[in-house]
Amino acid sequence: MPSTQKPMRYGHTEGHTDVCFDDTGSCIVTCGSDGDVRIWENLDDDDPKSINVGEKAYSFALKNGRLVTAVSNNTVQIHTFPEGAPDGILTRFTTNANHVVFNRDGTKIAAGSSDFMVKVVEVTDSSQQKTFRGHDAPVLSLSFDPQDAFLTSASCDGSVRIWKISDQTCVTSWPLLRKCNDVINAKSICRLAWQPKSGKLLAVPVEKVVKLYRRETWDNQFDLSDNFITQTLSIVTWSPCGQYVAAGSVDGCIAVWNVDTQECMERMKHEKSYTICGLAWHPKGGQIAYTDTEGNLGLLENVCNRDGKKSGGKASSAVTKDYNDLFDEDDDFLNTDLIEPRSSPKVLSNEEDDDDDDLMLASGHPRQRGAIIEDDENSLDAALMKVNSNLEKDDDNDQNGSIPVLPISTTQRPFYDGPMPTPQQKPFQSGSTPSHLTHRFMVWNSIGIIRCYNDEQDNAIDVEFHDTSIHHATHLPNSLNHTMADLSSEAILLACESTEELASKLHCVHFSSWDSNKEWTVDMPKDEDIEAICLGQGWAACATSAMLTRVFTIGGVQKEIFSLPGSVVSMAGHGEQLVVIYHRGTGFDGDQCLGVQLIELGKKKRQVLRGDPLPLTRKSYLMWVGFSAEGTPCYVDSEGIVKMLNRGLGNTWIPVCDTREYCKGKSDHYWVIGIHENPQQLRCIPCKGARFPPTLPRPAVAILSFKLPYCQITTEKGQMEEQFWRSVVFHNHLDYLSKNGYEYDENAKNEAAKEQQELLMKLFALSCKLEREFRCVELADFMTQNAVNLAIKYASRSRKLILAQRLSEMAVEKATEMAAPEEDDDEEDDFRNHLNAGYSNSATEWSQPRVRNLLHEQEMEDSKEADAVEEVEEMPEMQKFKGQNPFCKTVGLPEMSTPKSAVITSSSQGRVNPFKVLANQKDPTAHSANILDNMSKFSKNTPTPNSRAVNKQKSPVIKPLIPKPKSKQALAATFFQPRPAHAGGKTVEEREEKAENILPEIQPAATENTENKRPKTGFQMWLEENRESILADNPDLEEADIIKEGMSRFRVLSSDERMVWTEKAKGGAASNSAEAKKRKRPTDAKNEGKEKLEEKSKEESSLPKKRKPLDPSTNVRLSAFAFKQS
C-alpha cells in the first residue's frame, strides 16, 4: 500500500529539532531548543514524558538505555533512559557540540563541536578519549562506520573527511559542500550515514543529490536524484535493512530511493515546506519519523512496506526467479500485452481486469498493486518501463527460456499522477480528547464536564455540572470501559465498544427522572459497535458501525431507526434537533468528503438538511460539531474555521470566526467547547503547542469574538457591513425560535432590529457623502419603512432630490409589500397559493377576485359602519396607528383587469373592524413604523384571550442551553416574524367567507369604510386647497403625480404648519363623518377608487410625522447623526 503522511504536531519550540526511535521502536524520542527530551508513545500522544537536559539541546543519541545529549553549556552529558536520571558528563568543548552519535554496539560516542574538533569517547570510561583535528570550521555532522574502523565528519569548511579511528588520521577528504563560517549559516547540516551492517557504502547529501561512495576505494559509485528534489538536501538516513535511503531537503521534501535499483520509491512534501532537520527509520522499517526547524514532529507510515526488500538481489540484478514465478495465473495477459521484443519498446498498459494481487516487477522485486499510487503527483511507477537493449546483467542473473527481461528505467513516465485518496476520518465525540489518554475529557459542553480516569489506581468517570442547580457532581464507576459520553440537563449518556465477551452497550443515567429507577442500558446487536452518541430534549441517539442511527426516548423506549449513507463521523443534539456528520464519499488530496443530515424529532418530524455536503477548509478535517446555545448548528474544522448554519439564506454555511487569528504560535490551537449567539461568544480553551488541553491543571476558558470574513474590513464601510450582516446572521435564530414555538427574548429581537437600522443609516449617510446615490437606494432596500422615511429626510436636506424621489417611490412599494407576510399566513393552506408560487401577481384565472355580489357586500359595510365609528371613538389610543395602515396591494397592480371600484369594495369588506385587531394584537406594520422610536412600546400590551388560547396549544417550550428570562409574550407579533391577524370581533364563519371572496393579495389592504369613518387628514385638506396651484405649475400632471407632488410640498412645511392643518382636519370630524355615508355609492367607481387609494397613500406618508412629539428620542438622535455635516 502507498505510504501515508500523518498530520504534524508540535514537539518543541522553534529551532533545530532532532529525532530517533528507541532500540525496540516502541516510542519516538525528540529533543529541541527548549532543552527538553520528549518521549512519545505515538504521534497522537498528548502527554509525552519530558526530560530536561539543559537550557538548549543541540543533538542527542540513544542506545542501550543510555541517552547522550549535546547541550548549551558546551558539554556532552549522559542520562538513563527512559528514567532520565543524570549519569555524568562524557566530555567538554570550548563551544557547544553540534552533533553526537553512537557507534553500532553503543560502546562509544563521537561528538563534533564548533571549535573544529571531533572527539571519540568510551561510554563506560570517559577518560578514554580520542581527538581528531584537521577541520578549519565548525563540525556539522558525524557518522560511525558499522565496523568501527572509520569515522566520517562534515564541516563548514566545505569538506567531508574519512578518519581512521585507530590512529586518528585522515584517510581521504572530499570538497563537497559550500563553505560558511558557522552552523547557523550553513545551507545544509549534511547529516551523512553509512550503510548498516556491512558499511559498504557511505551516503552523503550534496546539493540536490545523494552521493554514494564505496568503502576502501572511496570512489563515487553513483548518485541518487529525482526531479521531485528542487532544493538542497540536508540529511540522509538508511533503512535498517540497508536497501533504502531516505533524504530530506531544506524546503521540506522527503524522498526514498531503492539503492539496488536507484529508483525513487516514495516522495513526500512537508505540509508547510519547513526545513527537514531530523530523520529516523523505525528499527523494523516501514515508518520514518521526521522533524523540522520549527519544532514540529511528523511521521510517514507504510514507507516501502512491500516485499521488494526481501529479494536481497544486487543493484544491477534484473530477474532472480523463473518467469512463471513472477506472475500468478490471473496475470497471464502480461505474456502478450506487456512483453514486447527488444526492438520495439512499449510502455506497459493498464488492463481493466487486473485484480489486487501482487504485481512482480521485471527487476525481480515484487510490489503491491496499491503501491502504484504514490504520495506525490509526480511519482513514478516501476510498472511503466522502457525496453533497454543494452541491459546490464549481474553474475547471479540467470534466466530460464528466452523470456526478455525488462529493466528499470530512470526516465519513466508516471503511471498515475491524479489526486490521491485521503484516509477517512475516524468517528469522534465533540468536546472530547483522544481515547488513548489515561486522563481525558469525555465531553466538555455548556452543561458540564465529564472526565475519565483509567490508570492503575482507578477506572472511573467524574461528572461536573457548571450549574449545580441542575444536579450535583457525580462519580461513576467505569467497569465497562466506556469511551464515549454526552451530557444534557436531563441525563448522562455513556457508550462502550464491544469485546469478545460483551456487546457494545448504551448506558443512560436519567437523573431528572421522577421515579426511583434512573438508569437503563441497551445492548447493540452482535457485530454492531456504537461509534457516536448524543442527547437532546427527551431523547437520546447513537450511530453504529452498521451505518444505522438509533433513537431512544430519554426513558429508554426505542424509537426511530434510520440508515446513514456512510460511516458516521460525529453527531450532536439540541432540543428537538439532531445533526449527523458522515462520510458521503472518498476525499482526495487531503480533503475529507463529508455529508450532513439535520433532522427535527419533534411532533412534526422533518429533515432539514438531506445529506448536503459539509464544506470544510482545504486539507482539513472535522474537529467539533454541535449547536449554539440558541439551537443553531455549528462546526469547527482543523484549520480553526468556525462555520454556522445561515437559516436566512437557504440553510447555507457561513464562516463566522477564524480561531487561528487569535493564536500566538503556529502550533497553538483553540479547543471549542461552546458557541453563544446572544451575546456573541465563542467559548474555547487555548492549547499551547497542542490541539487538546490536559485534564490537570484545569484549563481556563477563553472567549473569542466573531468576525465574518468580509472584504476591506479595515475601512469604515467594510466594518459597518460586517457588523450589519453579523447582526443579521446571529439573530436568525430568533425567527426560528418564534416560528417553532420556542421561548425567546423579544427585547433582544427589538434591539437587534434597532442596531441593524442604525448601521444601515450610517452606511446610507456615508454613501451620500461619497455621492453614491445608487448605493443609497440599495441600502434603503434593507431598511424598514420608518428608516426609509429618515433616509428621505436626509436626502432632501442634502439637496439630493432625485434620490429623495426614488426613496419616496420605494416607501410606497415597501408599504405595499408589508402586507404580504400576513396574507401568506392567513392563506397558508389555500391551494391557490401553491399554484401562484413563483409567478407574478398579474391577473390570472386563480388570482382574480371572486366577487359574488358587490352590492350585497356594500350593504354589509353600511350595516357595520356605525359600530366601527363607535369603536374608534371609544379607543383614542388608536390615533397612534392612523398613519400605519399598509397600502392596498392594488397600488402595485395596475394591470388588474377588474375595475378598481370592484376591487376596492371587495377588499374593503375584509377590514370592517380593523382597529380592534390593531389594538389587541399589535399590527406588525404599526410595530415596524415605531421600531426606531420605541422598540418595546407595543410589546407590553396584554394579549387577547384568543392569543392566550393559542399560546396554550403550542408545543412545550424548549429552552436554550443558557437560561434566558421568560418573554411576557412568547407569540407576540414582531416585525421580522408577522403573525396572522385574528379579528377579535369576527366569527370563524365570517373569516372563512372573507377568505373565499377576497383576493389573497388584496385581503389585508386598507378599507374604504375606515377611510370614510375617519375625518380628513391634514394633508388631504391641504391638498384640496392647493391642488389648483400645483396644476398651475404643472398642468400636464395626472392625478397620481399631483398627489406625489403634493406630498413633496407638504413635507417641506414646518411642523407647526402641518399641525395647524391637522387641527383643522380634527375640527371637521363630525361633518366629514356625515358626508362619508352619502359618498358610499360613487358615481365613477374607477376614478373615485383610484383617488381614495392614493389619498390613503399620502396619509400613510404624512401621519407618522404627527407622532413625532410623542416620543422623539430615537428620531432626534438618528437625525442628529444623519444631518451632522463636517
What cell was used for 263? 529508483
Task: For residue 720, give Cα distances in angstroms to 711, 761, 778, 1105.
Answer: 11, 10, 15, 29
| Assigned C-alpha cell, 865 | 359602519
What is the separation of C-alpha 321 from the centre of its chain, rounded to a whole number of angstroms? 55
Q: Give yes or no for a contact between 239 and 245, defined as CB atoms under 8 angstroms apart.
A: yes
The pLDDT of residue 742? 80
The pLDDT assigned to 1121 comes to 54
Output the CA angle 627-631-635, nearest 5 degrees. 25
**What b/e sequence results for 107-122 when a residue is b if at least 16 CB atoms lie within 10 Å of its CB, and e otherwise?**
ebbbbbbbebbbbbbe
Mapping DSSP onto H, E and C, the string for 934-1000 reads CCCCCCCCCCCHHHHHHHHHCCCCCCCCCCCCCCCCCCCCCCCCCCCCCCCCCCHHHHHHHHHHCCC
The amino acid occupying position 605 is K
Nearest to 1041, CA basis, from 1032, 1031, 1050: 1031
Instruction: List Cα–Cα distances, 945 to 626, 760, 970, in angstroms.
Output: 39, 38, 14
Which stretches of 489-593 are assigned E, i.e. beta strand?
492-496, 505-509, 519-523, 530-535, 539-544, 548-553, 558-563, 568-574, 577-583
Q: Among 433, 440, 486, 445, which residue's Cα sits nearest to residue 460?
A: 440
Give 534: exposed, middle or buried? Use CB within 10 Å, 0-12, 13-18, 19+: buried
Pairing of strands 622-627, 474-477: unpaired
- Backbone torsions φ then ψ of 561, nearest 5 degrees: -130, 130
pLDDT value, residue 1120: 55
Q: In the 8-state DSSP scheme, what is residue 887?
A: P
What does the block give as the cell for 570?
A: 460525529
Burial of 20 (0-12, 13-18, 19+ CB in 10 A): buried
**Model pLDDT, residue 1092:** 52
Grouping H, G, I as helix, E, B as strand and the rest as coil, residue 190 is coil
To the nearest 10°, the Cα dihedral for 610, 611, 612, 613? 170
* CA distance linking residue 229 with residue 266, whole number of Å: 12
Q: Which of 670, 681, 769, 765 is nearest to 726 (CA)?
A: 681
Asked whether 486 and 535 are in contact (CB, 8 A), the reply is: yes
Cell numbers that stand for 69 in this block: 545529549
Is 120 in a helix, a strand, or coil?
strand
Neighbours of 743 (CB within 10 A): 18
Alpha helices in 485-579 (DSSP H): none
* Alpha carbon of residue 367 to chain centroid: 40
Question: Residue 448: its pLDDT value, please?
Answer: 96
Angle of helix 801-817 relative to helix 1085-1102, nearest 10 degrees, comes to 110
List the grid coordinates of 90: 562524557
Which has the closest alpha carbon to 441: 485, 473, 409?
A: 485
pLDDT averaged per 10 residues, the chain (length 1126): 81 91 91 91 87 90 92 91 88 91 92 92 88 90 92 92 91 90 86 90 93 90 90 92 92 91 89 90 89 91 61 35 41 39 37 40 39 38 37 41 43 68 94 90 95 86 94 92 95 94 94 92 94 96 96 95 96 96 94 96 91 94 95 95 95 95 89 94 91 89 95 94 94 88 86 94 94 94 92 92 92 80 45 43 42 45 44 40 40 38 37 44 40 40 40 42 42 40 43 43 41 65 84 82 84 82 71 48 48 51 44 53 49
Secondary structure of residue 253 in the 3-state scheme: strand
Q: Are strands 244-249 and 253-258 parallel, antiparallel or unpaired?
A: antiparallel
CB-based contacts of 738, cutoff 8 Å, min separation 6: 744, 749, 971, 974, 977
